[in-house]
Amino acid sequence: MSQSIFKNDMLSGQRFLVTGASSGLGRAVAESIAACGGQVLGAGRNVERLQAARSSWPGQGHVACIQELGDADATAEWTKAVAQEHGSLNGIFHAAGTELLRPIRMSKQAQFNEAFGSAFFAAAGLARAASQKGVMVDGGSLVFMSSVAGSAGKVGMSAYSASRAAVEGMVRSLACEFAPRRIRVNAIAAGAVQTPMHDRITQGAAQDVVDAYASSHLLGFGEPSDIANAAVYLLSPAGRWITGTTMAVDGGYICQ
């Protein structure tokens, strides 16, 4: 884990639900929240990986929650149960998702369900739960992971891009719904970040293809800590006047 740039007590006394916390961006955000003094309720599908991740989170009182997220109704009920057991949430960071690279001529309902399940349906379920009494405190923050693919086209990414665009559209309307309670709702549109998912996508690709992909980001590929820093900022009181936005954290990919 890289050293946090934030004060180690910035999130002291606050509780955060982090999905996809067993690896990649979710794990990085969970570590950063813990390093800032927050309590992490980390959700993931793999018991061993989630337990290993939890052992790396600084501080005490963190909880590993084994759960697969892909259905809005089930996610809402599960989130409500988590809050009832562990206490109201100050924030939710949703990183769970899956990569999908398939041309539209080969995409069927199963692929669309896969793309939208953990990215959009689960995000909608988390938001629905947060709207219910006792699940999230007033003044809290919801942060959903999106991607530059939500606004930039690429061959073979129709379903994936659509799922991320759906998240960003939902964020804008949710911000309006949650505003009376001063609950902020934002998304992070990430470029290529060097995570296990990124490695799976680039594995086997020719070096010149990978180099061209890297050069499409003005500052090169990102690190998980780049996303974690943005997420902690939006989750913390520092982001108190930011809602309904999609923050591009992409090394300059989208501006070209």
Mean pLDDT by 10 residues, the chain (256 residues): 79 97 94 97 95 94 95 97 98 84 84 89 98 97 92 78 94 98 97 74 67 82 94 97 97 89
State the pairing for strand pair 136-147/89-94. Answer: parallel
Question: What pLDDT was estimated at residue 57?
Answer: 95
Question: What pLDDT was estimated at residue 184?
Answer: 98
Question: What pLDDT was estimated at residue 107?
Answer: 84
Question: What pLDDT was estimated at residue 205?
Answer: 65
Question: What pLDDT was estimated at residue 103?
Answer: 81
**Inside any domain, residue 255:** no
Q: Provide the domain count of the chain.
A: 1
Question: What pLDDT was estimated at residue 159?
Answer: 85
**Inside any domain, residue 181:** yes
Question: What pLDDT was estimated at residue 105?
Answer: 87
Question: What pLDDT was estimated at residue 145?
Answer: 96
**Inside any domain, residue 69:** yes
Residue 211: CB atoms within 10 A of its CB come to 11
Q: Is 157 helix (H, G, I), strand (E, B) or coil?
A: coil
Question: What pLDDT was estimated at residue 21?
Answer: 95
Q: Report CA Rg, the chain.
A: 17
User: Measured between alpha carbons, how far is 188 from 250 in angstroms, rounded to an integer?
Assistant: 9
Domain with 49 in it: what CATH number? Answer: 3.40.50.720
Q: Is 179 helix (H, G, I), strand (E, B) or coil?
A: helix
**Inside any domain, residue 8:** no
**Phi and psi, residue 118, nearest 5°:** -75, -25
**Inside any domain, residue 9:** no
Question: What pLDDT was estimated at residue 106?
Answer: 86
**Inside any domain, residue 256:** no
Task: Give me the domain span that covers residue 233.
Answer: 15-249
Question: What pLDDT was estimated at residue 98?
Answer: 73
**Inside any domain, residue 3:** no
Question: What pLDDT was estimated at residue 86?
Answer: 98
**Inside any domain, residue 111:** yes
